[in-house]
Structure 1
Amino acid sequence: MSWTQVIFVSLCATVLILSLSSGTDSARVPGAAKAMVPKGSARGVFMPEADASTFFKSRGRRSTRHQAELHAEQRVKKAAKARRIELIEEQRHKYENYVEEVHDEQNERTRETTEQYREYQYDGQYPRYDWHD
């Protein structure tokens, strides 16, 4: 088959499928006098024309937010900031304790090393020399 025949057969099949399918019963016409009540699952998708026209106007991209929404957002941000500060303080406290322990261990090792060195250098003939008066 040539490519023109393939296109013609596919178009005929598409028209046949679209004519036999019952996807929608009708379309909403803006000037219609009587509003149709949708059936089945279409109730959740379609809404009356009055609601549809105000839906996008109520909250545009540049419109201001409601005061309660701003306060709720500020409360959420403030709570997140408080949690973050608390976590940072806890981590700082743990780090300070760790540094203090390491410093104390280092001082203890230095003191023991100095003491051992003094005992090794002391031959017993002379009184001990106080290194730090």
Structure 2
Amino acid sequence: MVICARCGREVSPEDAVRQGSRVLCEDCLMDEMRPAKACDPWAVRHARSSMGSGAEAVRALRGLEKRLYDLVQERGAVQKDDAPKLLGAGEREVDRAFATLRHMELLRAERASDGSVLYVPFRSRPGGHTAAC
């Protein structure tokens, strides 16, 4: 077994990938090569065209995306740092779920007065402006 240089997990040698001088698991390699990106206009456009209305998008949710969406709807806001432990999931998985929900315009992030990041429902801001990335 080898140890992933990024996450510290034990990985079988056939599942490990050498990235420069480091050995990474496949998950960490994917994260480094293509990190979750919440603000992606093309992904938003694709989600809008393929999912239709917000209600259709909500019905299509499964797994961690549904659990994160339901948690934010129930509480009104969830601190980004608290979401992984509330959902019993890893930080990377929650970041990817959030990015998907942001593309579907179901959740957005906003900075709280104390500087922390909150996940909140995606809705128009006062004055009719929609949330920015």
TM-score, with normalisation over the residues of structure 2? 0.18
Q: Choose between structure 1 and 2 for higher RCO, CA contacts under 8 A separated by at least 6 residues.
A: 2
More helix by share: 1
Higher radius of gyration, 1 or 2 = 1
User: Whose strand proportion is higher, 1 or 2?
Assistant: 2
